[in-house]
């Protein structure tokens, strides 16, 4: 190779190496699609819309929520896994699509470990146990007693058959020995509609989904799964206070992108999330939903957190023998 050819090749390599950086500096130049794998009305959708609103402000481009509901978030996750890794299709991720689906489905159309790059956690939330007011229950023990009096007759709604609501449902059955029947729904909104209509009896799901109905007296909260009581519902005792510490748990929400998304874009999105979560308005909105604002220290820190969650819930699901249907 002569000197002229060598310098030409070297210049081409330098331009090629600089292209992703220049692309990231300009990013984003058009609207971003934020896919949420659940229908409107549930906690995942509520948090995704808050994320879209504030990311739009931080990035200077519109972030549009795209509900791709079905199969515990599998349909939405698959759409993102197969999208171009250019930062313009993102996933409103969470514990179920990123962790629980890997543990409860025998086969997924994507590899949750290698088809995504984690950006950051955004918030965490406890779950509420709530039932129809006409059942006249006031505690978990009341629910357990009713289930023992009517084995197999109490219908508890779940979002899908292998997500966080099903896992908590199975933990309740396992720890108390009661025979409750679970009824899977496509999303929390449809499940709550059926509870209000008397078709189902209750459910345990993320705080944000049930809180408005409890506040209005349309549902009765029996317990909260956090370590301490929520200031939004101070009279609702924790599961531990009621003698069921094994039910202490929570859900989390995060942002992910397709694998091979350029690192400069991942870093730019992480910086936007960190800034968004620290904004007074976002904090206020998340706290109003019973959520704790929480940004990962780095994309790597989020991936380590997700790996730890996989190990933790893997033991629970194996013991309970939970499989998505």
In whole angstroms, give the CA distance from residue 15 to residue 133. Answer: 66
Q: Give the pLDDT of residue 38.
A: 93
In whole angstroms, give the CA distance from residue 247 to residue 239. Answer: 6
- Mean pLDDT calculated for residue range 235-259: 95
Question: 17-125+251-320 with 127-247: one CATH topology?
Answer: yes
pLDDT per residue over 159-209, tens digit each? 888 888 998 998 899 889 999 999 999 889 999 999 999 999 999 999 999
Domain limits, the chain: 17-125+251-320, 127-247
Q: Which of 256-260, 299-303, 313-317 has the lowest mean pLDDT?
A: 313-317
Q: Which residues contact 11 (CB under 8 A, 6 or more apart)?
A: none
Q: Give the pLDDT of residue 276.
A: 97
pLDDT per residue over 36-93, tens digit each? 999 998 899 999 999 999 999 999 999 999 999 988 899 999 999 999 999 999 999 9
Beta strands in 137-279 (DSSP E): 155-159, 181-185, 202-206, 220-224, 251-258
| Nearest to 159, CA basis, from 291, 66, 71, 250 | 71
Partnered with residue 125 across adjacent β-strands are 251
- pLDDT value at 277 more than 80: yes
Q: Of residues 305 and 3, which shows the higher confidence score?
A: 305
In whole angstroms, give the CA distance from residue 98 to residue 55. Answer: 21
Q: Give the pLDDT of residue 316.
A: 81
In whole angstroms, give the CA distance from residue 214 to residue 204. Answer: 13
- Dihedral over alpha carbons 172, 140, 135, 235 (to 10 degrees): -140
Relative to beta strand 292-293, strand 116-125 is antiparallel
- pLDDT value at 29 more than 90: yes
- What CATH number is given for 17-125+251-320 in this structure? 3.40.190.150
- pLDDT value at 212 more than 70: yes
- pLDDT value at 14 more than 50: no
- pLDDT value at 134 more than 70: yes
pTM of the model: 0.83
Q: Give the pLDDT of residue 17.
A: 47
Q: Give the pLDDT of residue 5.
A: 53
Burial code of 66-99, b = ≥16 C-beta within 10 A, e = fewer? bbbbbbbbbbbbbbbbebebbbbbbbbbbbbbbb
Average pLDDT, the chain: 91
* Contact by Cβ (8 Å): 292, 124: yes
In whole angstroms, give the CA distance from residue 47 to residue 62. Answer: 16
Q: Give the pLDDT of residue 20.
A: 53
- pLDDT value at 117 more than 70: yes
**In the chain, what percentage of residues exceed pLDDT 90?**
78
Q: Which residues contact 44 (CB under 8 A, 6 or more apart)?
A: 36, 37, 38, 73, 92, 94, 206, 253
Half-sphere exposure of 169 (CA within 13 A, CB side): 28
**In a 3-state reduction of DSSP, which class is residue 133?**
helix
Give the model's confidence band at 323: pLDDT under 50 very low, under 70 low, under 90 confident, else very high.
Answer: confident
Distance of CA 261 to CAs 62, 76, 86, Å? 19, 18, 6
- Mean pLDDT calculated for residue range 136-164: 94
Q: Give the pLDDT of residue 11.
A: 52
Q: Give the pLDDT of residue 55.
A: 98
- What CATH number is given for 127-247 in this structure? 3.40.190.10
In whole angstroms, give the CA distance from residue 127 to residue 214. Answer: 13
């Amino acid at each position: 190779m002569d000197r002229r050819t060598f310098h030409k090749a070297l210049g081409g390599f330098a331009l090629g190496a600089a292209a992703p950086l220049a692309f990231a500096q300009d990013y984003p130049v058009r609207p971003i699609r934020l896919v949420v794998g659940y229908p409107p009305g549930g906690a995942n959708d509520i948090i995704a819309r808050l994320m879209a609103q504030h990311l739009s402000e931080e990035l200077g481009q519109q972030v549009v929520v795209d509900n791709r509901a079905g199969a515990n978030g599998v349909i939405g996750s698959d759409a993102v896994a197969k999208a171009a890794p250019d930062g313009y299709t993102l996933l409103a991720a969470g514990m179920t699509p990123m962790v629980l689906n890997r543990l409860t489905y025998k086969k997924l159309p994507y590899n949750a470990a290698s088809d995504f790059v984690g950006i950051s956690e955004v918030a965490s939330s406890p779950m509420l146990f709530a039932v129809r007011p006409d059942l006249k229950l006031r505690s978990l023990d009341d629910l357990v007693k009713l289930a023992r009096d009517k084995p197999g007759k109490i219908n508890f709604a779940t979002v899908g058959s292998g997500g966080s609501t099903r896992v908590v449902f199975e933990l309740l059955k396992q720890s108390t020995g009661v025979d409750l029947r679970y009824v899977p729904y496509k999303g929390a909104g449809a499940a709550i509609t059926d509870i209000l209509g008397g078709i189902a009896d209750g459910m345990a799901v993320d705080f944000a989904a049930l809180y408005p109905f409890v506040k209005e007296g349309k549902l009765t909260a029996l317990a909260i799964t956090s370590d301490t009581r929520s200031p939004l519902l101070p009279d609702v005792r924790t599961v531990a206070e009621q003698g069921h510490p094994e039910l202490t748990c929570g859900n989390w929400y995060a942002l992910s992108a397709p694998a091979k998304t350029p690192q400069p874009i991942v870093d730019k999105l992480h910086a936007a999330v960190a800034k968004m979560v620290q904004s007074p308005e976002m904090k206020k909105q998340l706290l109003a939903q019973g959520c704790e604002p929480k940004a990962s220290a780095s994309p790597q820190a989020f991936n380590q957190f997700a790996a730890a969650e996989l190990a933790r819930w893997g033991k629970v699901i194996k013991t309970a023998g939970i499989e998505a249907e």
